Amino acid sequence: MLNNVISRIYIDGEFVTPHGTELFDLHNPATGQVIGQVQLADEVDAEAAVAAAKRALPAWSATSREERIDALRRLHDAVAARLEDIREAVVLEYGGPVRNSFLVDGILGAFAHMIKTLEDFEFTRQVGNAVVEMAPIGVAGLISPWNSDAFFIADKLATALAAGCTAVIKPSEMSATQTQVMTEALHAAGLPKGVFNIVTGRGDVVGTTINRHPDIAKISFTGSTEVGRTIMREASGTLKSLTLELGGKSPSIILDDANLEEAVAGALGVGFVNSGQACTAGTRILVPENQLEDVVALITKKVASDYPVGDPRDPATAVGPMVSQRQWDRVQSYIHRGVEEGARVVVGGPGRPDELPDGYYVRPTVFADVTNDMTIAREEIFGPVLSVITYRDEDHAVEIANDTTYGLHAYVFSGDPARARRIASRLEAGRVSVNGGYEPVSPFGGFKQSGLGREYGSFGLEGFLEPRSVML
């Protein structure tokens, strides 16, 4: 057994040893070495966590806006004090390059934005003769993925607590190191016992307990579409409210009036974000037919100069390793599939980069001559693999963009903001970014099979509230 075994979960304000005994290996993706193990929680632990959250609910749901803001400030400051430890854990356990560890910085933003949202939020509204009270929905189950575990814990917890809900958090079992540091930080904020509980365990064990538990009123889940469907099925027995943030196959539309150099840089940036392991990644680059070869030339040049692959600790590295051997295999299988289906490899291709024989490194890969019916254009790969697809005219671009089962995000690049805005309004996507535009508190979530509901800001907060009409 390794020395580094994480064997603490967090229930009712205390660090406790899990009842579960299964050990799960944690790897350093940059080397492939096992760096530790986590002792996984089981159903008994999940039950104890739900019970603690239920006990804490009456007092927490009765707190005032000011008390919740104060709690969020304390959480923010406690996490800020450990931010570099969290960053270190993300690099070590996930292989996230230090150069773009903006999601780690986003952790503090999650608390800060929710404080701002809470300050302005109307919990009581007048509708005709009725007073509508926005009441906390109850105990929330918060389930997060490995691709940004610490951020999702922060964002979901901040929102649940702001609404007056208590929480049971089920982080990814692959992110136990991040979770450990986050838990210590959150504990240091000194919130009342049981308002949040953190149980790292398997999805089909701890997750299933949450999905089916009659005392859980709401689940906020970020992860794959497949698991999202399972949660929906299992939660239907108790008719839980669901926020599901799922996969994507987002289009980056380069319009013919765009500054091509800037548009290609932008499209590669959103395509290779988080080493391609991002739900929002713009993985289908849509270009006018007559500009294809110009775009390909720019892509070839820019990937070589701007997207070095390597050690995530090296500040020059733009693309780090995949999180696991499984993910490496998955990405490779899609690259092979692209070649088999007749797409043209413009940069990258199968296998490891020559100079990186160890670790879960892949070559950032861009395919051209992709048609939207190819597997690489339809399925979420979750790695640095992009497809360039040509379109005839604006209508055709919109048609291809919307021809997907997903609808999480879209990107439009144009020299004419009004034209880009018109196109944006025709896209079936929860967020459309025009020329790199960004707004952290605007609603985030998907159309179609990218999910249900919205996160962030007031829309996110409403997801944890039930309107109660009091008619006078």
Question: CA of 156: how far to CAs of 28, 139, 198, 315, 387, in Å?
Answer: 26, 13, 12, 30, 32
In angstroms, the CA 292 to CA 304 distance is 18
Q: Are 464 and 140 in contact (CB under 8 A)?
A: yes
Alpha-helix residue ranges (DSSP H) falling in 62-135: 65-80, 83-94, 102-120
Candidate list 28, 101, 147, 250; residue touching ligand NAD; CB under 6 A: 147
Q: Of 173, 279, 380, 455, which one is the catalytic site residue?
A: 279
Sheet containing strand 23-27, strands side by side: 5-6, 34-39, 23-27
The span from the first CA to the last CA of the chain, in angstroms, equals 65
In angstroms, the CA 136 to CA 466 distance is 6
**How is residue 396 written in tokens?**
């055709």
**Residue 347 CB, nearest distance to ligand NAD (Å)?**
23
Candidate list 7, 31, 61, 230; residue touching ligand NAD; CB under 6 A: 230
- The C-alpha R_g of the chain, in whole angstroms, comes to 22
**How is residue 167 written in tokens?**
């929480």
The residue at minimum Cβ distance from ligand NAD is: 203
Q: Of 93, 173, 234, 245, which one is the catalytic site residue?
A: 245
**Residue 382 CB, nearest distance to ligand NAD (Å)?**
5
Q: Are 187 and 198 in contact (CB under 8 A)?
A: no
Residue 442 in contact with ligand NAD, rule: CB under 6 A: no
**How is residue 159 written in tokens?**
């929102």
Residue 150 in contact with ligand NAD, rule: CB under 6 A: no
**Residue 80 CB, nearest distance to ligand NAD (Å)?**
23
Positions 252 through 281 that interact with ligand NAD (CB under 6 A): 279
**Residue 93 CB, nearest distance to ligand NAD (Å)?**
13
Residue 324 in contact with ligand NAD, rule: CB under 6 A: no
**Residue 141 CB, nearest distance to ligand NAD (Å)?**
8
Positions 151 through 170 that interact with ligand NAD (CB under 6 A): 170
Positions 396 through 435 that interact with ligand NAD (CB under 6 A): 408
User: What would the x/- binding string for ligand NAD be over residues 97 to 126, using CB under 6 A?
Assistant: ------------------------------
Stretch that binds ligand NAD, among 114-122, 144-152, 157-165, 312-320 (CB under 6 A): 144-152
Using DSSP, state whether 294 is helix, strand or coil.
helix
Residue 243 in contact with ligand NAD, rule: CB under 6 A: no
User: What would the x/- binding string for ligand NAD be over residues 168 to 187, using CB under 6 A?
Assistant: --x-xx--------------
Positions 190 through 219 that interact with ligand NAD (CB under 6 A): 203-204, 207-208, 211
Residue type, 91: V
Candidate list 96, 164, 247, 266; residue touching ligand NAD; CB under 6 A: 247
Buried b (16+ CB within 10 A) or exposed e, 205-236: bbbbbbbebebbbbbbbbbbbebbebbbebbe
By C-beta, is 223 or 338 nearer to ligand NAD?
223
Candidate list 37, 39, 117, 144; residue touching ligand NAD; CB under 6 A: 144
In angstroms, the CA 380 to CA 387 distance is 12
3-state helix, strand, coil in the chain (%, to 5): 45, 20, 35
Whether 245 is a known active-site residue: answer yes
Residue 338 in contact with ligand NAD, rule: CB under 6 A: no
Judged by the rule CB under 6 A, the positions of this chain that interact with ligand NAD are 143-147, 170, 172-173, 203-204, 207-208, 211, 222-224, 227, 230-231, 245-248, 279, 380, 382, 408, 451
Q: Which residues are identified as catalytic?
A: 245, 279
